Every structure is written in C-alpha cells, then in structure tokens.
C-alpha cells in the first residue's frame, strides 16, 4: 500500500471516529445534558448536515489550492471542532463543535478520493478508494468502541479529547506522506459536470442508500439496551461486531466494484434491504441481534466504494467537486436517515422502527441505481443504433 494511502486512511480514521462515536455515547450525552435520546440523535444529523453544506462550499472555495495544502487545512479545521466538543458544557456548544468538525469531512473524503484514485492504475481505483475508507472501517472496529468505552468510564468529553489527538496524528501523516498535488481544473470546469444527469442519479443513489444505514445505526445503542436487553457496557462490543462487518464490507465492495461496478451496487443495495427487514425481527433476541449487526455492517459499507467509484465514473474529467458532493450526499442521507428514524421512535413505533425506515430508503436507492444503469446502457447504445 502506498504510504500516501496510509496517510489518507489515518486522516479518515480520525474523522470517522468523531462522526460515529457519538452513536455509542447517545445515552450518556442525553443524560448529562438533559435532553431526550432523539434530541441527542440530532447531533448525528447536525454533523451530517454540516458535511452537506461544507463539502461543496469548501471544495469549490479551494479549487485553486493545491490538493495537499487543502487536505492539511481541512485537518486543522477538524482539530478545532473537536477541541470545542471536548470543552462543551451544554448541548448548543456541543452542536457547534460537531458542526465545525464536520465542515472538513466532505472535502477531505472528496479530495482524498481523487488523490487516492490517482495514485494507482485505472483498474484499481475502487480498491484505492476502499483503502482510504479503511480508515472509516478501522474507526468503527477500534476508534468507536474504544471511544465509547472511554466515554462511559471517564465521561463523554474525554472521548473528544482523544479524537482531537487523532486529528493531530492525521495532520502529521498528511504532511509527511501525501505527495504534492496540483489544484483542480478550476471552479468552472468542476461545475460543468453537474449538467450530466448521471451525476445527479449517482448523488440520489448515495443519499438514499446510505441514509438507510444511518436510519438504523443511529439508534443501535437504545435498540440493543431497550429491546434486545443488553447491558449498556455490551454496546461497545456490539459496535466492534458492526465495525468488523464494515471492514469486511469495505474490502469486498472495493474488489467487486473494480470487476463489475453496477451489478455489485445492485447486489449490495438489495442485500441491505433484506438485512434491515430481518433486523426489525432479530433485534428482540440477543444472539440473533448481534449476528445481524455484523451482517448489517458488511452490506452497509460494501456500498461505499461502489457509490464513490460510480461518481468518479460519471464526473470524469473534473471529479473533485462532484466527489465532494457525493460525500455530502452520503451525509445528507445520514442526516435524513437519523431524523426519520427518530421520527419513527417519537411516533410511538418503538426502537426497531428505524430498521423499517432504513429498508424503505435502501429499496428506493436500489430503484434509482437501476434507473441510472439502464440510462447508461441506453446512452451507449444510441450511436450504434444510428449507424
């Protein structure tokens, strides 16, 4: 693995930890700050919405900045946001810190995906993207469970101090290993790709497909403690299972996408629908719930590399802004999924209801992906049909 990919994965590890660790700490944060679980869940939505806004704006604003320098600045912003979270003494300030930290997220993964894809041969691009996103899977295998355990033992603020240190390590890695990178083609060239219908269909597939994951995942902690009957301390190990599933799914998704991109995407989204429907039932028993969490992680994250590779394919020639917009779409889905899952709980449908919401979103994402694939085939066949 090129050292630059390791550096990008290290940055992704820090960013992934701060994004996901709040899920395992929702009960502690809600109790300490005196808010409800659905209100605490909005810390997930607030982060995600900040990514949605920050990804295109920061990437567009930095279109003339060499990519390595842009990545360095983004890691600095990440460190600042997590420092604010670590010293927050009320819900509003914690939300501000989450929003600031999230501003770097979309641009980092968007620009980082372009850098990663450019480091390898064309037939290995999805795997290179998957390697960078290994940082996210490692965050779920190691960062999130350890951060959850740390927060449960020493208070949730200690977790954000640890994440701040991860940000510093990521910054050092980018400075040391990522080679100099040119700026993008300029804002006009980057904006031009949004005239392509395929780009918008890719964005919609991403938002719906990953919204399905967060509709359920946001409420895993209360689902496991209130429905399955696990002790709060067991949530850490359940998140380890989920993280192992993410790691496996990331590897499988990257390899499958390099071989057959669209069929792989169809298969993973379809499997996600099935797993979430099953989870609505298995959540009532501890062993089946634990197994389903691991399988959920596999198919939830197997979609990531194909979705990002699909955007790079559709936005060929000027991919940086479109890639960042796709990260924004991931997080728009995260925010909408978390909000819809919370609405289902607030409506009295119980803690398993977010699984049904997620299944519906995944099914919608599969439908859009099929439309996108059919549209591509029709477009490619037109020249031959007119000969």
3-state helix, strand, coil in the chain (%, to 5): 90, 0, 10
More confident residue, 290 or 335: 290
The pLDDT score that the predictor gives to residue 184 is 62
Residue 384: exposure state from Cβ atoms within 10 A (0-12, 13-18, ≥19)? exposed
* 274: confidence class by pLDDT, cuts 50, 70, 90: very high
Whether residue 385 is predicted with pLDDT greater than 70 in this model: the reply is: no
* Residue position matching structure tokens 């066949």: 381
pLDDT digits (tens, 9 = 90+) for 343-381: 999 999 999 999 999 999 999 999 999 999 998 888 777
Q: What is the separation, in whole angstroms, between the first and last Cα of the chain?
A: 46
Lowest mean pLDDT among 74-78, 88-92, 177-181: 177-181
- What's the pTM value of the predicted model, to 2 decimals? 0.75
Length of the chain: 387
* Residue position matching structure tokens 């006009």: 188
Give the Cα separation of 240 and 204 in Å (integer): 30
pLDDT digits (tens, 9 = 90+) for 27-36: 888 888 888 8
Name, of 117-126, 179-188, 246-255, the range with top average pLDDT.
246-255
pLDDT digits (tens, 9 = 90+) for 99-132: 999 988 878 888 888 788 777 777 777 888 888 8
Whether residue 140 is predicted with pLDDT greater than 80 in this model: the reply is: no
* 386: confidence class by pLDDT, cuts 50, 70, 90: very low
* Of the candidates 35, 41, 17, the residue with the CA atom closest to the CA atom of residue 221: 41
- Taking phi over 0 as left and psi of -120 to 50 as alpha, with beta for the rest, 317 belongs to left
* 182: confidence class by pLDDT, cuts 50, 70, 90: low
Encode 322-385 in three state secondary structure: HHHHHHHHHHHHHHHHHHHHHHHHHHHHCCCHHHHHHHHHHHHHHHHHHHHHHHHHHHHHHHHH
* Of the candidates 184, 153, 211, the residue with the CA atom closest to the CA atom of residue 63: 184
Lowest mean pLDDT among 205-219, 257-271, 369-383: 369-383
Give me the percent of the chain exceeding a pLDDT of 70.
96
**Which tokens go with 378?**
């029709």
Count of other CB atoms within 10 angstroms of residue 317: 10
More confident residue, 262 or 68: 262
3-state SS assignment for residue 219? coil
Give the Cα separation of 379 and 377 in Å (integer): 5
* 337: confidence class by pLDDT, cuts 50, 70, 90: very high
Q: Which residues does 43 contact at the CB level (< 8 Å), separation at least 6?
A: 22, 29, 94, 95, 98
The pLDDT score that the predictor gives to residue 185 is 59
Work out the mean pLDDT of the chain and round it to a whole number: 86
More confident residue, 126 or 18: 18
The pLDDT score that the predictor gives to residue 264 is 93
Once rounded to an integer, what is the mean pLDDT over residues 204-225? 92
Q: By the 8 A CB rule, do 135 and 9 touch? A: yes
Give the Cα separation of 340 and 47 in Å (integer): 16
Whether residue 13 is predicted with pLDDT greater than 70 in this model: the reply is: yes
């Amino acid at each position: 693995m090129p050292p630059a990919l390791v550096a990008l994965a290290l940055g992704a590890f820090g960013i992934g930890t701060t994004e996901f660790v709040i899920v395992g700490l929702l009960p502690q944060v809600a109790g300490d700050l005196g808010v409800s679980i659905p209100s605490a869940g909005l810390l997930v939505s607030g982060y995600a919405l900040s990514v949605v806004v920050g990804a295109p704006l920061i990437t567009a604003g930095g279109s003339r900045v060499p990519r390595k320098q842009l990545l360095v600045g983004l890691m600095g912003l990440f460190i600042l946001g997590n420092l604010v979270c670590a010293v927050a003494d009320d819900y509003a300030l914690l939300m501000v810190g989450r929003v600031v930290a999230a501003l770097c997220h979309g641009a980092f993964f968007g620009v980082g995906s372009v850098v990663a894809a450019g480091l390898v041969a064309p037939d290995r691009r999805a795997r290179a993207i998957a390697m960078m996103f290994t940082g996210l899977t490692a965050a779920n295998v190691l960062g999130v469970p350890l951060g959850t355990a740390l927060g449960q033992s020493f208070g949730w603020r200690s977790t954000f101090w640890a994440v701040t240190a991860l940000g510093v390590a990521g910054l050092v890695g980018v400075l040391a290993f990522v080679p100099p990178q040119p700026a993008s083609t300029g804002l006009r060239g980057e904006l031009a790709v949004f005239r392509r219908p395929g780009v918008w269909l890719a964005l919609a597939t991403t938002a719906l497909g990953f919204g399905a994951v967060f509709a359920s995942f946001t409420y895993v902690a209360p689902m496991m403690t209130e429905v399955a009957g696990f002790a709060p301390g067991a949530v850490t190990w359940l998140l380890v299972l989920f993280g192992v599933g993410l790691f496996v799914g990331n590897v499988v998704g990257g390899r499958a996408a390099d071989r057959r991109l669209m069929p792989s995407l169809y298969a993973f989204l379809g499997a996600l629908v099935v797993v979430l429907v099953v989870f609505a039932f298995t959540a009532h028993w501890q062993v089946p719930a634990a197994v389903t969490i691991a399988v959920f992680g596999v198919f939830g994250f197997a979609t990531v590399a194909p979705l990002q590779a699909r955007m790079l394919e559709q936005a060929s020639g000027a991919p940086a802004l479109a890639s960042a917009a796709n990260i924004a779409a991931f997080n728009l889905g995260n925010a909408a999924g978390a909000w819809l899952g919370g609405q289902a709980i607030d409506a009295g449908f119980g803690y398993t209801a977010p699984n049904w919401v997620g299944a519906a979103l995944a099914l919608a994402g599969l439908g859009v992906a099929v439309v996108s694939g059919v549209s591509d085939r029709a477009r490619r066949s037109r020249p031959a049909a007119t000969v």
